[in-house]
Amino acid sequence: MYVQCDKKQIQELVRRERKYRRLLEKCLYALNMIPNSPIPGLEKDSYQLASEIEKFLDRLDRS
């Protein structure tokens, strides 16, 4: 099943994706600036989370 989108809807989706990407890039930068430390509730440390974000952004680049 396909959903039809007009040009305006596609432009809005692209705008949102770029906005989320910029936010993730800022989060990645911030996580890499602080000393590595555990993140309560995630069972990960800040560098592990940064690594996950970086891998996700890499997958976006390849798609």
pLDDT at residue 3, rounded to an integer: 81
pLDDT of residue 15: 96
Mean pLDDT of 31-48: 92
pLDDT greater than 90 at residue 55: yes
Domain boundaries, the chain: 7-62
Residues 8-23 have a mean pLDDT of: 95
Q: Tell me which of 54 and 4 has the higher pLDDT.
A: 54
Mean pLDDT (the chain) is 93
pLDDT value, residue 1: 78
DSSP, residue by residue, the chain: ------HHHHHHHHHHHHHHHHHHHHHHHHHHHSPP-EETTTTEEHHHHHHHHHHHHHHHHH-
